[in-house]
Amino acid sequence: MTEIPALLQSTVPVVRVTTLQKLRHVIYGMLISNQQVTMLEISRWT
């Protein structure tokens, strides 16, 4: 799981910090979800 932040760090020069923070929340939510993740649920996380 520590690989995900490392991969996101490589996009820092291209993407805004707030966008990366939102993306981290979405990825974390997808990883800890114990059910099927839908686009509606993802939109509620951001």
Lookup: tokens for 28: 């974390």
d(CA 34, CA 14): 32
Lookup: tokens for 30: 């997808």
| Neighbouring C-beta atoms of residue 29, cutoff 10 Å | 15
Indicate whether 2 belongs to any domain: no
Indicate whether 4 belongs to any domain: no
Instruction: Give the range of the structural domain holding residue 20, as residue numbers without chain letter.
Output: 13-45
Indicate whether 37 belongs to any domain: yes
Indicate whether 28 belongs to any domain: yes
Cα–Cα–Cα angle for 15, 22, 28, rounded to 5 degrees: 120
pTM (whole model) above 0.75: no
Indicate whether 29 belongs to any domain: yes
- Provide the domain count of the chain: 1
Indicate whether 3 belongs to any domain: no
How does pLDDT run along the chain (46 residues), one tens digit per residue?
667 777 777 777 888 888 878 888 878 877 777 777 777 877 776 6
